[in-house]
Amino acid sequence: MSSNDITSLLSMPIEHFINMNVAIMEGDKYIDQALEMMKEKGVRSVLVSHQGEVMGILSKTDILFKVMSQGRNPGKVRLREVMTSPVLAVDPKSTVQDTLAMMDKHVVRQLIVSSSSAVLGMVYRDDIFESIHMSTMSTANAALKGTPVCIINPKAIAYVRDTSSAKVVCPYCELPYDTKEALSKHIDRLHTGAGVLEGDVRKTFE
């Protein structure tokens, strides 16, 4: 990923995130066979087909909730029985932002990328967020190297001060002062409004 700008990343076409390592199995195959293929190919889901046409998708989450948690034998449950159908797909020119919105709308973590009814590959939510995370880290690294990037409001930073030699310390921000009069003016000006405590605070230290 060459761009470190998250806004630019979200407007990129999703084709830049296609994972072409796709597992496809016929719907009459069994769950244990699908798990074995997932392990071999290192994928998180299997596309379920019928006579060469993709009809559904089966994820590890589907297997966990529709098979394992119900005590069903994965060697006796066919893919077509628990697959999710119809299959959700996006065009390769769809933006990353639109793709994430579609995932959120349908509560899924992966989509097929398809063009002219052909499966080009899969796109995974985790892969997209990893790229966004890397982009964020690059921005932070640039700031550490001196690039002028706004990270945090300076007013929100709390500094640790050495107050061991101070005669009086502000009870609000712990700034050290040599005299009670100086502390009183500081509190009036910064913490409560001009003149409100001119006299009241002095009594506190008398």
pLDDT in tens, 105-148: 988 888 888 887 788 889 998 888 888 777 666 555 554 555 44
DSSP 35: H
**Interatomic CA distance for residues 105 and 126, integer angstroms:** 16
Q: Take residue 197 and report the two structure tokens written for it.
A: 């405590």
pLDDT at residue 66 is higher than 90: yes
Backbone angles phi, psi at 63, to 5 degrees: -65, -40
Q: Residue 119 forms beta bridges with which residues?
A: 114
pLDDT in tens, 143-182: 455 544 433 333 333 333 344 555 666 666 556 666 777 7
- How many other CB atoms are there within 10 angstroms of residue 187's CB atom? 23
Q: Residue 58 forms beta bridges with which residues?
A: 46
Q: Find the range with the poorest average confidence among 1-5, 16-20, 67-71, 173-177.
A: 1-5
What domains can you pick out in the chain, each with its CATH number? 6-132 (3.10.580.10), 158-204 (no CATH)
Q: What pLDDT does 166 receive? A: 53
CB-CB contact of 73 with 98 (8 Å): no
pLDDT at residue 30 is higher than 90: yes
**Percent residues over pLDDT 70 in the chain:** 65
Determine if residue 159 is left, alpha or beta; phi over 0 gives left, psi from -120 to 50 gives alpha, anything else beta: beta
Backbone angles phi, psi at 90, to 5 degrees: -125, 155
Kindly report the pTM of this predicted structure.
0.59
With b meaning 16 or more CB within 10 Å and e meaning fewer, what string describes 36-50? eebeeeebbbbbbbe
